[in-house]
Every structure is written in C-alpha cells, then in structure tokens.
Chain A
Amino acid sequence: MNFSILQFPASNCDQDAIHAVRLLGHSARYVWHKENSLGDTDCVIVPGGFSYGDYLRCGAIARFSPVMQAVKQFADNGGLVLGVCNGFQVLTEAGLLPGALVRNRDLQFHCEHVFLRTVTTDSPFTNAIPAGKLLRVPIAHGEGCYFADEETLAKLKANNQILWQYCDASGNLTDTANPNGALQNIAGICNEKRNVAGLMPHPERACELALGSDDGKWIFESIFAALKNKTVAQAA
C-alpha cells in the first residue's frame, strides 16, 4: 500500500510517520505542501508538528496549502486520510472533520504517555484493535483540547464518530486521565463517512517497544486491513 505523508513548513512528525509505515511493511513517500496532486496514494497522513509556526491558529494556514485541494478531493472520493496532532488540527480547520482543537485547559504543553480507550472498532482506523485493549501512546501538544458545540457532540455520539477517548490504566474515563480538557475525553474522531480521522496522540511514535510502546501499530494495522478489503479510490 502507498502512503502519502504531507509536509508543510514546520511539520516535524513526517519522518516518524514515514518510518512507522515502512517499518510495518508498506510504502510511504513525502508530498510537499505545494504539490497539486497526490499521485498513486492509498492513504494520506497529515503529520504532527507546528505547521506555519502555529501562527494565527494551529493548522489555520496549512489548510489553504495547494496540496489540501487534492486531499479534499481524495477524501470526497472515499480515500482514507489520517490526521495526527497538528494534522488533526489541519483537518478540523479544513472542515474535513467537525469541531476544533483549542488550548489545553491548564495552559501547559503536555508531553507524556496516555491511555486510549477505543470506542468503536467500526472504522478503517480501529477495526484491527483487539477488543478491550487500551492503547499506550504519547501525546505532545499545547492545543489539544477537543471542542464542538452541543449539537455537533450529539451527532458525533449518534453516528458513532468518536474513535478514541483518554482513559486511566483501567480504562475509566476520568477527569485526571484527560490531559487537556477535551470534551468527553475525546482524543480522536472520524467523519460521518468514516474515511477521515484525526487524533491528538501520536501512534507513529508508538510502533516500536524501544520507544516505550508499540500499541500505535494497531491503528496502522487497521488501515492496512481496511485498504485490503476495499476498492481504493484513485487520487485525483
């Protein structure tokens, strides 16, 4: 499978993403933000970092980069898109995912491991995660607090669009386990069509035990499995 990893000025988790995909046995290449086409792509990863210095708002400028037109078309055609951290922010700014990410409630940058509870395995990003398994994944963000208004939150719940929530080591959704104040401990969501997802934690930094956890691989394995099973949309 071919993964396209976008690169914006000041993306910094693109190398981790490309390494993770290749480590797990698939092809990955960088796509510079000025490109107008994604080429032969099965999945797009919008990586973490501080694109455009987080100026104005995180992801606010990157969402207008030329490559995002191709990404939008790819997503409209059913292609799989995964946004990690800043990538999640870019996707919400671009309107490809609902809601927004705001400043952590304690105003501190959190660089630590968290536990994630997978809310549903009914998605191309969670289908391979073993039932009941908590994912130990690192976060590194200052603006990861997920916000959406009441109506949007209700829709997310009704449509089963919440994919991951912060929890404690026993899987409980506690306030202490919530590193940033995200509503309903939301760590990651998908769109209505279930082909675009975003999460604040970094699965690409948790694919090798040497880095403290290899639980992140389950998210990639889910994508590989989904791609195997579906007709892949051609990139525009």
Chain B
Amino acid sequence: MKAKIIVTPKKAVVDPQGKTVQNALEQMGYQGIKAVHVGKYLEIELDGTDREAARKALDEAAHKFLSNPVIEDYKLEIE
C-alpha cells in the first residue's frame, strides 16, 4: 500500500515562499496567477492490506508529527 500525504500552510500563515514563486512565475510571463502556496508531499510505503487501519494510524501520525496543526493542514490518501 502507499500513503500520499500533502501538507500545506494554513491560509492565516504568511507564505513568503509562495509569494516568491508567484512573483517569479509572473516575471516569466505566466498570467492570471492569483496565488501560490508551497507545501510538502510525503509518500509512505506500507506493508499489509488493511487500508482502514493504515488510514487511522497515518491520520494520527499526520496530525501528531508529519504536520504541525498550528500552521499546516494535511490531506491523506491511501492507495
């Protein structure tokens, strides 16, 4: 099984990386970009086939460790 976790900065947190990337894209000529947010992507390869158990465990890990709920949100997908 493979878990895919996307961690993104919360909207309330200033995201200078996102702003910088946006500026660069605009400088390169890309138009109509309203905003850019830079986050993190994690892939976790798992043994076993119990997707529900894996989701439960990784949800906890994502909340406790892989993301910081004060400044980040996360999305978890198990395939």
Is A105 in contact with B16, judged by CB distance below 8 angstroms? yes
Q: Report the bound CA distance from A70 to B27 in whole Å.
A: 51
Given known contacts A100-B70, A107-B16, what 10 new A-B pairs fall within 8 Å (CB)?
Answer: A60-B65, A60-B68, A64-B65, A99-B70, A100-B68, A102-B9, A102-B13, A107-B17, A148-B70, A181-B14
Q: Which residues of B contact A204 (CB under 8 A)?
A: none
Which residues of chain A in 109-149 are interfacial with respect to chain B, using CB atoms and an 8 Å cutoff? 145, 147-149
Q: Which residues of B contact A33 (CB under 8 A)?
A: none
Per DSSP, chain A at the interface is: loop
Q: Does B71 contact A (CB under 8 A)?
A: yes
- The chain B residues found within 8 Å of chain A, CB to CB, are 9, 12-14, 16-17, 20, 65-66, 68, 70-71
Is A102 in contact with B20, judged by CB distance below 8 angstroms? no
- The chain A residues found within 8 Å of chain B, CB to CB, are 56-57, 60, 64, 92-93, 99-100, 102-107, 145, 147-149, 181
Q: Which residues of A contact B20 (CB under 8 A)?
A: 107
Q: Which residues of B contact A103 (CB under 8 A)?
A: 16-17
Q: Report the bound CA distance from A81 to B13 in whole Å.
A: 27
Q: Which residues of B contact A105 (CB under 8 A)?
A: 14, 16
11 interchain pairs, CB-CB under 8 A: A57-B68, A60-B65, A60-B68, A92-B70, A93-B68, A100-B68, A102-B13, A107-B20, A145-B14, A147-B12, A149-B12
Q: How far is the CB of A63 from chain B (nearest CB, A)?
A: 9
B40 to chain A: closest residue by CB? A56
Most-contacted residue by chain B among A57, A106, A148, A181 (CB, 10 A): A57
Partner of A102 from the list B14, B65, B66 (CB cut-off 8 Å) is: B14
Q: Which 3 A-B pairs have the closest CB atoms?
A: A100-B70, A100-B71, A105-B16
